[in-house]
Structure 1
Amino acid sequence: MKYDFIVVGHGLAGAILSYTLRQQGQRVLVIDEPRASGASRVAAGLLNPIAGKRFAKSWLADTFIPAADALYDELEAHFGRQLFVHKPIYKIFSSIEEQNTWMAKSAGQEWNDYIQATYTQSLNQPTVQDPFGGIMIGRGGYLQVAQMLDLLTAELLEQGLLLPERFEADALQLTEQGVRYKEVAASQLVFCEGFQVINNPYFKWLPIQPTKGEVLEVQTQDNFNPECIYNKAVYVVPVEEGRFKIGATYDWRHPNEQPSEQGEQELKERFRQITSQGFHVVNHWAGIRPAVRDRRPLVGRHPQHPQLSVFNGMGSKGVLMAPFLAKQLAAALTGHGEVMPDVHVSRYISLYYDYIHYHNNHQP
């Protein structure tokens, strides 16, 4: 069977890329081993235009957010159900110094599209602890990632476009026409494997730092159901009546998918700093993000094998970045555009040559 593309991996990045290619009329086969603990399924799918203690606007937010809105609207129309939940994000000031930092930065015009209101005093919401106030951020929300992946997976299976198995790198052959994998041939193959790219023989030279993130789902005692997402060191996302996702931790020292007591205690303590609500833990998950040294994604063709590409490294920003970058990569791979230099893997070409040099000089 001959395809235009094989996409390896069907987490958030792989799902959005394969959908984008299919919508452009490309013949796509997806290879993915289902994993309930995958980082995309664990995450709350947050889209936050402004993040961090320094109140920095997310990189290229003005470019990425319209593309994300358009894709998620399209997917909702395609499947006939809501997938992206638009909610303002209440970023709570942790101190008067943090409040002052924001007040000094907020005069810039670049904030106008994203800040709904600034509060220098508490909103006096029951059980919410915000003595220094905060800012209400618009154009944010969260994607119901697991539901989206389930719908796209079911569609691929129905159309015979998914191999639900572990990809075996040893079975991949590079040919003059493209690639062959077992009984399947394609013109191009794109790896969307998340942190597992560190084991990929073609792209293991990329500077991926596997980073563990833990998330709790909690139930509050009083079925508290606010109209916003809270953010203060962690996010607190209301997913249904009285139930919240809280996350996430960042741990690069222990990159495993096992929930830890330390992670649970950290998230519970952070939640207690936001609300006095009583609660109990319903679920506790852990996943591994593909973080990158310069905090930019890794997108583009292999330096030596143009039939191979990678779409990876979006870390915790995949919901924001993936829709725009998937369109860019799809255009580049079909001869209709280019991938922006800031995310192209060519910026790490020196690491590739170092890897080749080391590999050639340490052959048994």
Structure 2
Amino acid sequence: MLYDFLVVGHGLAGAILTQTLEKRGHNVFVFDFEKYNSASNVAAGLINPVAGKRFAKSWQADVFIPAAEEFYRNLENELDTSLFHQKPILKLFSSIEEQNNWMGKSAEGQWNEYIEETYPSLPFSETVNQELGGLKIAKGGFVELRKMLSFLRQKLETQNKIRSGTFNFSNLTISENGIQYEDMQARHLIFCEGWQAVNNPYFGWLPFSINKGEVLDISVQNFTSGCIYNKGVYVVPLGEERWKVGATYNWREPNELPTEEGREELLGKVKQLLKIPVEVTGHLAGIRPATRDRKPLIGTHPEVTQLSIFNGMGSKGVLMAPFLAAQFANALTGKSAIWPEVSIDRYRKFFYESEQKG
């Protein structure tokens, strides 16, 4: 069978792009090496419109958030399950300096849609260190990524449209009319490999800045909350006294091994937030496919037009991928262009420099 698209990788980016292409009537086949500790399976799946110590509004939040909400709600309806949990984010100030920093930023007014309330101080709590106050951020939430990816994989398996294994580039043949990989033929091949793209012979010239993130699963007795906490780390309520804590950023060790250093860093920050005992029930690490300028890497190869990439979303994939997948699907069929800020064309000179060195 001749497929319209062969997608390599079924993490967050690959799964959302595949779903988007299929919904537009394209015939898609997926090749994926399933990993329990892939970045998509490890991540908490956060959507946060205001992030970081500098209180920066997430890039293109006004565009990404409505598209993400529509995509995940439609997916819930199709799969008849719950995946997307909208919850306010209580960003607690860690210091007077951080509090003052926000007060100066808030005068700019660009966050009005996302800030429900500013608390110069909060009442004493027996469970949470919140006396310095904080912000209540609207339109936040999280997606159950492991569950979502499992459901979408089952759907593809039922349709016989996914194959597991390691992609071997020596088995790839490129012709004028498309590609052939083993016994599969497609008009176009899209790589959604996550951090493994650094080893891709066609796209390895792109400036990935991969980093390891570690997360903890914790149990907290007699503690419930209707919000996500953020104070140095995020603490996400998973229900039944289970919470996910994360995440670390480690550029020094590009591997997927949890470390005692990461565990202690996360636990230390949790103790700055919570006054009550926690029990660690899980500890995982994954590698984020981040980029030098923190923008995704999307587009078609400068010379081999049968190949494209949809990657580089780092820790913002849950927020960005639904809109960008729709935009890229339009671009692949000639209906519109992708944003210059995410197009790999912005690094085209790196490709030609790599060709000269090669």
TM range (shorter): over 0.9
Q: Are 1:268 and 2:275 counterparts?
A: no
Map Cα deviations across residues 17-43 of structure 1 (whole Å, 9 max, x no partner).
000000000000000011101000000
- The list of structure 1 runs, each at least 4 consecutive aligned residues, that deviate by more than 4 angstroms after superposition, is none
Q: What displacement does 1:335 show?
A: 1.2
CA distance in 2 between partners of 1:125 and 1:324 (Å): 40
Q: What displacement does 1:126 show?
A: 3.1
Q: Which residue in the other structure is 2:48 paired with? A: 48
> Where does structure 1 lack aligned partners over 5 or more consecutive residues?
360-364
Residue type of the alignment partner of 2:151:
L
Map Cα deviations across residues 6-60 of structure 1 (whole Å, 9 max, x no partner).
0000000000000000000000000001110100000000110000111010000
Contact 1:214–1:249, Cα closer than 8 Å, also in 2: yes
CA distance in 1 between partners of 2:277 and 2:82 (Å): 30
CA distance in 1 between partners of 2:53 and 2:324 (Å): 26
CA distance in 1 between partners of 2:123 and 2:212 (Å): 34
Map Cα deviations across residues 68-103 of structure 1 (whole Å, 9 max, x no partner).
011001101101111001110011111112111111
Contact 1:224–1:241, Cα closer than 8 Å, also in 2: no
Q: Which residue in the other structure is 2:183 paired with? A: 183
CA distance in 2 between partners of 1:81 and 1:143 (Å): 12
Q: For 1:1-364, what aligned pairs fall within 5 Å after superposition?
A: 1-220=1-220, 222-359=221-358
CA distance in 2 between partners of 1:158 and 1:123 (Å): 53
- Distance change in 2, residues 1:307/1:271 (3 Å): same
Map Cα deviations across residues 96-150 of structure 1 (whole Å, 9 max, x no partner).
1211111122133321210110001124343100221000000000000000000
Q: What displacement does 1:167 show?
A: 1.1
Residue type of the alignment partner of 2:121:
Q
- Specify the SS of the correspondent of 2:266: helix
- Specify the SS of the correspondent of 1:109: coil
CA distance in 2 between partners of 1:126 and 1:303 (Å): 59
Contact 1:178–1:307, Cα closer than 8 Å, also in 2: yes
- Specify the SS of the correspondent of 2:289: strand
CA distance in 1 between partners of 2:123 and 2:342 (Å): 40
Map Cα deviations across residues 203-260 of structure 1 (whole Å, 9 max, x no partner).
000111221000000111x231111101111100011122110000000110111110
Map Cα deviations across residues 252-279 of structure 1 (whole Å, 9 max, x no partner).
1101111100000000000000011101
- Specify the SS of the correspondent of 1:67: helix
TM value normalised by structure 1: 0.97
Contact 1:223–1:241, Cα closer than 8 Å, also in 2: no
- Distance change in 2, residues 1:227/1:124 (3 Å): farther
Q: Percent identity?
A: 52
Residue type of the alignment partner of 2:332:
L
Contact 1:223–1:243, Cα closer than 8 Å, also in 2: no
- Specify the SS of the correspondent of 2:251: coil
Residue type of the alignment partner of 2:57:
K
Residue type of the alignment partner of 1:331:
N
CA distance in 2 between partners of 1:339 and 1:324 (Å): 11
CA RMSD of aligned residues (A): 0.9
Residue type of the alignment partner of 2:27:
R
CA distance in 2 between partners of 1:243 and 1:27 (Å): 39
Residue type of the alignment partner of 2:313:
M
CA distance in 2 between partners of 1:65 and 1:16 (Å): 15
Contact 1:86–1:139, Cα closer than 8 Å, also in 2: yes
Aligned residues: 358
- Specify the SS of the correspondent of 1:204: coil
> Where does structure 2 lack aligned partners over 5 or more consecutive residues?
none
CA distance in 1 between partners of 2:70 and 2:301 (Å): 29
CA distance in 2 between partners of 1:279 and 1:267 (Å): 12
